Amino acid sequence: MAPIAKRSLSFAIAVATPERITKKPRAREEWRSLSVPPVELNLALTLLTGQTFLWKQTSPGVFTGALGPHLVSLRQTPQDTLYRVHTEFPGAKEALREFFTLDTSLATLWSSFSAADERFAAVAPYIQGARVLRQDPVECVFQFICSSNNHIQRITKMVDFLATQGSPLGCVDGQSFFQFPSLEQLSFLTEKQLRDAGFGYRAKYIVGAVETLRSKESGGDEWLKSLREGSLEQATAALCTLPGIGPKVAACVSLFSLDKHDAIPVDTHVWQIAVQYLKPELAGQRLTSKMHSAVAQAFVSRFGAYAGWAHAVLFIAELSSHQKLLPSHLHTQRRPRTSKNSKRNEDVVSL
């Protein structure tokens, strides 16, 4: 049987029995404490603002996603974050603590960011609990290859398609979840299948990146994980050898999966922040790769070794979807719409 057909069969079995997961919770499906207050972790601001496209809001206030073999749901109370595990494997709490980098204190970081920067100090109280994730690097690479020159809705659709190549983990409130596919599972996808699924020119990049990663002597998974050890420059150079990865995508992967806390993904939003608040002399210039470095450097000069974490807050404050969180005097002045930027201004997260 062809690998795709085999996978589809196991998926059919998993979705045929959703009540296995949605009916009365078993003991292991009880809500448990993650011991982190909303000021240190805001689920919506962390999971639904462009760092990952794999987590879903499965019911009001409940977010569900896969962490390796664990399928977990999360919700907040006024004092805590609660988690519920739908799968059998041990270690879900540890996986969650790692994914949300909970050993890093937002309070400590943010007090130094607020002292360094007026805009950060002004918007941070309205965006409390926005953290930077530590994702699996393979998952992160493929999500951000899909993200290039794209908007959230379409990226999510593409990433959901990739996810269906992995092992089914179950169904929560009518939504199916899969363990993110291994490189081997991804290798069964053809460029044609991806094009037919709406990936456009990115279809070639996905197939090429899978091939390149699978050719690494240590295995693509280990090769990517090894980039956690070196510098940001080394990680950027290595990532940019993969098809479909340029400086912006490399910075997203470095920040959201490789422990490079000073990585700054420079897109139109970040460019606007730099021009308005950090380096006004950039106004009127074009965003070239030299400018990318200048903008990233401006963030690091202002915010230090965790500049990427400060960027995450300023980036959210820039999104049109999140302006409503801010009082009107803190709203960003929008560029006038033109036929070229009308869609992009609103919801493109990655250029």
Ligand X SMILES: Nc1nc2[nH]c(O)nc2c(=O)[nH]1
Binding footprint of ligand X on the chain (CB under 6 A): 50-51, 147, 252, 265, 267, 269-270, 312, 315, 349-350
| Active-site annotation holds for 248 | yes
Residue (70 or 131) nearer to ligand X, CB = 131
> Which CA distances in Å does 72 have to 16, 91, 136, 254, 257?
20, 11, 16, 25, 19
The distance of closest approach from Cβ of residue 250 to ligand X in the complex, given in angstroms and rounded to an integer, is 12
341: burial class by Cβ within 10 Å (0-12, 13-18, 19+)? middle
CA distance 348 to 181: 26
What the block records as the tokens of 252 is: 């997203």
Residue 264's identity, in one-letter code, is I
Residue (136 or 185) nearer to ligand X, CB = 136
The distance of closest approach from Cβ of residue 81 to ligand X in the complex, given in angstroms and rounded to an integer, is 21
* Residue of 6, 23, 204, 248 marked catalytic: 248
Q: Which long-range contacts (CB under 8 A, 24 or more apart) does 69-76 make?
A: 69/167, 69/169, 69/179, 70/95, 70/169, 71/21, 71/169, 71/170, 71/172, 71/177, 72/96, 73/172, 74/34, 74/43, 75/31, 75/43, 76/38, 76/41, 76/42, 76/43
Residue (84 or 202) nearer to ligand X, CB = 202
Q: How many CB atoms lie within 10 A of CB 271?
A: 19
The distance of closest approach from Cβ of residue 260 to ligand X in the complex, given in angstroms and rounded to an integer, is 13
Residue (106 or 312) nearer to ligand X, CB = 312
The distance of closest approach from Cβ of residue 344 to ligand X in the complex, given in angstroms and rounded to an integer, is 13
Residue (226 or 341) nearer to ligand X, CB = 341
Residue of minimal Cβ distance to ligand X: 50
Q: Which of 67, 56, 68, 62 is nearest to 25 (CA)?
A: 62
Residue 318's identity, in one-letter code, is E
Residue (73 or 156) nearer to ligand X, CB = 156
> Which CA distances in Å does 331 have to 192, 314, 345?
43, 12, 14
Residue (28 or 343) nearer to ligand X, CB = 343
Q: Which of 133, 153, 155, 129 is nearest to 142 (CA)?
A: 155
Annotated catalytic residues are 248
